[in-house]
Structure 1
Amino acid sequence: MGKLPINCEQTQEQLTEWLSNQLPDAEGAIMDAHLAQCPACQAEADSVRQLWQMMGQLPTPEPSPMARIRFQTMLDTYKETIADKPESALDNLLTKFREFFTPKLAVRLAYSVALVGVGILAGYWFNHATGPNVAYKQQIDTLSTQVQEMRQMMMLSLLENPAASERLRAVSYTEEINQVDSKVIDALLTTLNNDANVNVRLVTLEALAKLADNPTVREGLVQSITRQDSPLVQSALADVMVKLQEKRSIKPLRQLLHDDNTNHMVKGKIEQTIRDLS
């Protein structure tokens, strides 16, 4: 029995696999047939294909010519310092001790201790309590709250880390925070608007989109449209606006559309977004 024709929603779900030639021949033929007779899906496929091509043409950043010189200078200085003043075993131990108890690692340690505490109390309560034990339940609730606070502290701390990988990890902590407060939202919006790394901004946008039930987040996403200079982030924001059906975004999207600095492929994406929202 052959496969039934697919609808537009199924086409959208399989579009990435189709463009990357990952669909089986039979399903690919069904996609081809649907796209041939559906102008809307064909337009979306063309738009995504153009975006992929644009992403492939983005230049790979080259390190500064001075980077190697600066690194070598730092390395030589370090070697001279070690040669001039050999570090004693005690000094080495103290240095490692100080490094271990930096604010960031201290937060991680406290977070781990809190998790262990929750596990111990929960295990004791479930294994030994013969009835409702209010005291232990209150202690578990208190420790759970402290764990949430630790996660938030870690996230806010890591967002200020100079390493992009650490900032990406910070954003991932939003999935572990049960109740995201105004500090976290403000930090995420600041990262979305100001982070130098495009990947960090894209991941932050994805995290904020999941929190879009919050009015502050929705307003922040709308205001962020005109603050973005990356074609990838601009395009991703346009997709989020369609997903949220956020009609307030039409005005800033039009501003972006009339900006001479906006990539022409992104302008095509924005035009489609405005039509979808109108």
Structure 2
Amino acid sequence: MKCEHYREMFLDQKHGMLGEAEQAALQQHLNSCAACREELAAVQLIWNKLGEIAMPEPSEKMELKFHAMLNDFKQAASEPGKLTSWKERVKQLWQLQYRMPLAYAILAVVLGIGATLLLQSNSRQQQQLQAMQTQLHELKQTMMLAMLDNPLASERIKAVSYTSDIKQPDKMVIEALLETLNNDPNVNVRLSTLEALSQMGNYPEVRSGLIQSITTQDSPLVQTTIADVMLKLQEKRAVHPFKELLKQKDLDEVVRQKIKTTIGKLI
């Protein structure tokens, strides 16, 4: 394999997301490739330096810039073409994060400063505060959607975890999560997505999407977990797709027993 492939595994290794085989393959490559060892050492140095960066106190100029950024987003939101362009710029910046860790840190600092500014608003700014909170909410959703396209599984899991900060996910977010649940190649990402969706069981489109997903899953872990979710939600409409899943001859026996038990409790 090319060095680029192994270098893309560095972040997964840092977050403990590599399987035993992947970890062994990466270590074997590092033992024989001085260039990749140097690259890993440089990346680790950057990570360490970023961890030492203190959050700066927001100046008046920074507050003005933050307001300007939110105003730009608000104006773009009123014009679909501009909104798409704005989101693409955010997406392009975010997708550079594993090659340019500093861009990731800067964006995190900007959001942190923005949150600080929101908390510092006084009673005379409540109306403006509400508008800023709405735009910040949309910004979080935009970045979460961009991160779901990241080639690293650990970053996609991180994106899914951000949904806990989104109190009212819009249609795009729900559709993106369902798409991830049905098509992501990494089982851990799908499990994390299923957990996130289970917290949104009060949305009809989430329930319908989970029901439709039952027969598309091929991982025993995901199949048993989705059975638990349907039981938790007491979703009786899941009985039919579960019965369809039982017709699969190669279905794991543990999964088969789990589904039969779930059907019995839902009926």
> TM-score, normalized by length of structure 2?
0.62
Matches within 5 A, 1:162-241: 162-241=151-230
Q: After alignment, is 146-155 or 200-209 more displaced?
A: 146-155
Could you tell me which runs of 5 or more consecutive residues in structure 2 were left unpaired when the two chains were aligned.
1-18, 39-90, 98-102
2:114 pairs with 102, 107, 117, which one? 117
Could you tell me which runs of 5 or more consecutive residues in structure 1 were left unpaired when the two chains were aligned.
1-59, 80-100, 126-131
Q: Which residue of 1 aligns with 2:93?
A: 103
**Runs of 4+ in structure 1 displaced over 2 angstroms?**
60-79, 105-115, 117-124
Distance 1:121 1:153, change over 3 A: closer
Instruction: Mark the structure with the bigger radius of gyration.
Output: 1
> TM-score, normalized by length of structure 1?
0.60
Give yes or no for the alignment of 1:142 onto 2:139.
Answer: no
Once the 2 structures are TM-superposed, how far is the Cα of residue 143 of structure 1 from its aligned partner?
2.1
CA offset digits 1:46-69 (Å, max 9, x no partner): xxxxxxxxxxxxxx7735999889
Distance 1:78 1:115, change over 3 A: closer
**What percentage of residue pairs aligned between the two structures are identical?**
44
Distance 1:120 1:197, change over 3 A: same
Contact 1:114 1:146 in 2 (8 A): no
Q: Take 1:231 and 1:183, find their aligned partners in 2: how far apart are those partners?
A: 28
Q: After alignment, is 163-172 or 110-119 more displaced?
A: 110-119
Once the 2 structures are TM-superposed, how far is the Cα of residue 124 of structure 1 from its aligned partner?
5.0
Distance 1:266 1:114, change over 3 A: closer
Once the 2 structures are TM-superposed, how far is the Cα of residue 259 of structure 1 from its aligned partner?
0.2
Structure with the larger RCO, 1 or 2 (CA within 8 Å, 6+ apart) = 2
Q: Secondary structure at the match of 1:179?
A: coil
Q: Which residue of 1 aligns with 2:21?
A: 62
Once the 2 structures are TM-superposed, how far is the Cα of residue 78 of structure 1 from its aligned partner?
11
Q: Secondary structure at the match of 2:21?
A: coil
**Residues paired across the two proteins, number:** 190
CA offset digits 1:169-215 (Å, max 9, x no partner): 10110010121001110111111111111111111101101101101
Distance 1:145 1:255, change over 3 A: same
Contact 1:201 1:233 in 2 (8 A): yes
**Considering only aligned residues, what root-mean-square deviation do their CA atoms show, in Å?**
3.0
Q: Secondary structure at the match of 2:243?
A: helix
